[in-house]
Structure 1
Amino acid sequence: MREGFEIEPAVKIRDLRKVYKVGSEKVIALNSIDMEIERGQICCLLGTSGSGKSTLLNIMAGLEKPTKGTVTVNGGKIESMSEKELAIFRQKNIGFIFQSYNLMGSLTALENVSLPLTFKGMSKGEREKKAEKLLEAVGLKKHIMHKPTQMSGGQQQRVGIARAFVGKPGIVFADEPTGNLDSKTTKEVMELMLNMAKKNNQTLVIVTHDPSIAEFADKVVYILDGDIEKIEEKNK
């Protein structure tokens, strides 16, 4: 690396504010947030229900527009993109893992995981080969032709993880990814996500209300009532 040359962070947020109008009332969901997440970092946004953590994640992912402020993710200015530009940007740069798995019920595990690759112009054979390899990596070799209803919650979340990582996006957002899982499966799923992210130097941002999940992160951002209460850096 050249002296004096700094790598742009994966996420850079400045003076971010989000206000919702509820009837004649104004509800402040986020109040002047400033934060950065380094490339390859495992970051946890920790807070109780209603703290603003999911709103923050949604704005970073371009699913909601900020009322004020700037949000830069993998070099893209999120707040200034159109809906079409955001859709293309997400396809190229972002992976998602959801609490409720969000799998397509009519598709097999193989088809669910290969789906994001259809936007990359790959042949069906190439897409399925990559998807099969990743499903094997998450321990689902025997389940590649199973549909979501034929799998447990933990297995479905493994499919969700494989789908999020299959296109090797620069950043993966996980919204309460272990909320529907027991403690043993939670640990397995967390270790799986971390190993995948570390292997390809991908940035992983996890939203949770569970302090035990924060123990897996390099950086923990504590959010309370729309403000950052404190930021804890680990593994430095």
Structure 2
Amino acid sequence: MTTIIEIKGLKKVYHMGTEKVEALKAINLKIKKGECCCILGTSGSGKSTLLNMIAGLEKPTAGEIVIKGQHIEKMNEEQVTRFRQQHVGFVFQSYNLLPNLTALENVAMPMIFGGLHKKKRHHEAKRMLTAVGLGDRLDHRPSQMSGGQQQRVSIARAFVGTPEIVFADEATGNLDTKTTIEVMELFTEMIHKNHQTLIMVTHDMETAVYADRVIHVRDGLIERIDETRDDILKGLNMKQEA
């Protein structure tokens, strides 16, 4: 598989008064096209900061972030926003759905920026909602749906238009075990079907087991990378026993 994301010497330092906090310390990482990659770590490990840097939501203090041959860290806000609209989808822990819009309207929303006609947007949104099992919830608003259903809408919104990269930040954090399994199976099915790249951040070992690779982050550094299924299971067992 070809490399779609390459990170070189990535650092992030936050200044809080006179205190300096190193959230990331010289991270080097390559992510391949079509893989499900999990960034695993405890609260404060730097995992969400790393995702935010890759996604262009925050600027690094130093280092390079190259996605599809383009340096994200050199882009201004307008350029990185346009890049995300064209190549990236997001799934968040808190769903981030617009409360006054229906499921159909929430999923169709990102396609407005692509200039698609309303009829085409709604057709694609309906197709994607049907794919995630919500074909009978098109006209429901977030308040009329369960947490699991809302996250399915969020997933449909992230995957509509088939973006090459999808970022998921603690996407199953508010879900029960049964719904977490359903959501993760949906994630892996969709990325493998469309040869997309999924980068998910989690502290949950049961979620990490769905990944092709698990990147263990601790104190702003990559502690190790589990590359095979046996290594992933062994690494998760070690964490459970620790």
- Indicate yes or no: 2:29 matched with 1:28: no
- Indicate yes or no: 2:40 matched with 1:57: no
- Report the 3-state secondary structure (helix = DSSP H, G, I; strand = E; otherwise coil) of the residue aligned with 1:197: helix
- Superposed, which structure 2 residues align to 1:175-190 within 5 Å? 175-190=169-184
> Normalization by structure 1: what TM-score?
0.96
1:133-185 deviation digits (Å, cap 9, x = unpaired): 11011000110000000000000000000000002111000000000000000
1:2-21 deviation digits (Å, cap 9, x = unpaired): xxxx83x1210000000000
- CA shift, 1:73, in A, is 1.8
Structure 2 unmatched ranges of 5 or more: 231-242
Specify the alignment match of 1:106 in structure 2: 100
Distance 1:142 1:28 in 2: 47
- Indicate yes or no: 2:12 matched with 1:18: yes
- Indicate yes or no: 2:155 matched with 1:161: yes
Q: How many residues align?
A: 230
The residue type equivalent to 1:168 in the other structure is T
The residue type equivalent to 1:122 in the other structure is L
Match of 1:121 among 97, 115, 118: 115
Deviates more, 1:192-201 or 1:180-189: 192-201
Distance 1:76 1:220 in 2: 25
- Report the 3-state secondary structure (helix = DSSP H, G, I; strand = E; otherwise coil) of the residue aligned with 1:100: coil
Specify the alignment match of 1:3 in structure 2: none
- Superposed, which structure 2 residues align to 1:1-236 within 5 Å? 7=2, 9-234=3-228
8 Å Cα contact 1:51/1:224 also seen in 2: yes
Distance 2:195 2:157 in 1: 17
- CA shift, 1:74, in A, is 2.7
The residue type equivalent to 2:141 in the other structure is K
- CA shift, 1:121, in A, is 1.3
Percent of paired sites with the same residue:
57
The residue type equivalent to 1:198 in the other structure is H
Distance 1:190 1:73 in 2: 25
> Normalization by structure 2: what TM-score?
0.93
1:23-46 deviation digits (Å, cap 9, x = unpaired): 011000000000111000000000
The residue type equivalent to 1:87 in the other structure is T
8 Å Cα contact 1:217/1:234 also seen in 2: no
The residue type equivalent to 2:153 in the other structure is V
Runs of 4+ in 1 over 3 A off after TM superposition: none
The residue type equivalent to 1:20 in the other structure is Y
